[in-house]
Structure 1
């Protein structure tokens, strides 16, 4: 009995203890803020378009769910890759002449984050590295850290409409680089990359024989004057794992129905990656059978006008916010071309009371009960991220409070010590 423990000592996994999720820390820290109780909360930090109830999903989505719930055997298990009906429906929904897809090219996942997690875990080993954009969606690094995969950040170029700095990207590649991750349409900046820029990016991947993980969660949710090109439709040689979900376009983020589309015209993934993806998908399984059974009817019955109206609504809100923030001294908005967010650049030298964007965001929450995301979370210090999905009355109220706040702390010429 020499190996018997005599005291309780149950340590957590050392690898997992090292994981730092800045989103989690932000929301935990936010609970410690003592806001102005005389004003109701306005949540500009939430990335859920359904939060205020002004952006409901289409009735056909709910009808499909009700049909599923009252149909034959909606409660059983489905295949760990996703039901064949769901995979066929997704393939048909996203297929194109340039990139024909079949059910075997689709894996149904627990949301887009689940798709990204599965791709990263299956394409890189501990000690290898993946190239990730900066600014970035923080979960990319969190996932890589959880698998002990090194992250190398390639820069975007604000002076060139936030295009990827492809020269910098290529300089980071070494023998341990396993893949490049690209986000298009790109958040938090709200950028839609041109076809030319995407082809230039694919040329980098082709030269270096690197596969690509494409986060395309905001596919087709682009404003007037912009066009989305899926990376899989443009690539003739580079293998692509494209990640997307129902959540944003269909306004059902809580459903957690995502997918991986495998674009692999030359069979690069066939020997190992596809088998590993399928084996790994069996660990957690796919989303609920009820949601998957509803997919064929959802894709078939939701009219294109619903998507057009959603995008038009977001663009109107973005335009309104842009116009208001342009008139607030010390703040400069970036007009997005996609997605549900807007970035606001802070001239911090005009607000000497605050050391950085996080301190300013915390004080704004304390005084005005308006919650924004500090840009530092996205590796974009000196900015605030706000959501553009609010009802117009909430937008006006939030902007009025921010205007009051900025007027209080703005200094046209910061004082200097004598």
Structure 2
């Protein structure tokens, strides 16, 4: 079945399930707003219920403990240090903890809800861009499927910020770079998108200037609170960790553990609250992953640069499409070539796809469909059946293997897309090239 036939079949199925009148109403600003409220109300009500019982959820337990300890390692009895994150990640934690530990989780979800709202508003031009509404719907569906993997982790803050930055894109590289720099000082992965932005835009000095100014503010903030010695701790805190269970390159050892081959085993690394896999060759692979990730990032950056300049020679390059394709390729590389495979990493891939659907829906429907499948598989892995997976359940190992294979396919699609943009063979040029989204 061809790609067109597959998506035509999906459209026909949607028409059978959803009455035409409903579909028309849902594809309006009011319909989108109603959907946004329903989706986020589900998480807000759950967060309020949990908070009223004085509890938190998932990683917010750790964040709340860090806040209560004043982000000081000596006040913690065990577990990871708060400085595994860049310093700006501690700001939303501190805000959520202003009213004490009780409402921490609820306030955390409220802040992410606000950011999601701003991201959707920017994506759709505050409802004025009707053609962007399907892309916003896709983002809502993805957010809902991923669930607490976005709402209970720092990644839930960075993803909408990156989406907003990509929506500004090449039309305003200074704002885009500023937002991406802020997000990078919360969690490192937005640096992948920042590198793509630097490679693609004409005004690279604006990208650099925004990054320098943002970093200068961050350094001043760290000095003001006496945290300057710990400012770069996040670069070294996780360097000696092993191969995490869900990581793509861990898949062979995952099956060795499931099949009880040799000494392969799963174990909990309590220092970083992560399940890892140990077996023959894993120490070497763990050491190899860091340079492999750096190499992959450099190769992708070189491919973006080649696509830009080769495309210009053959009739002009679509810098916005290059930014989006490059961002997805780089973010996927950060996931595939990473020895840490936490399930929330899938959130990193969504911003480029959401903005891509606005820019060229036909081209971006393939990664959009793949990412929904990846999200569904990830939801089965965590939170539904993670305990079974970590106890060598073969069915869940198969689900994880399929998920990881889809990630590799998505990476290959992204690389191919960049290549086609450079060759100018079958890559379609959408209308409105280079306009702000």
- TM bucket (normalised to shorter chain) is 0.3 to 0.5
Query: What's the TM-score, normalizing by structure 2?
Result: 0.31
Richer in strand (by share): 1
Query: What's the TM-score, normalizing by structure 1?
Result: 0.32
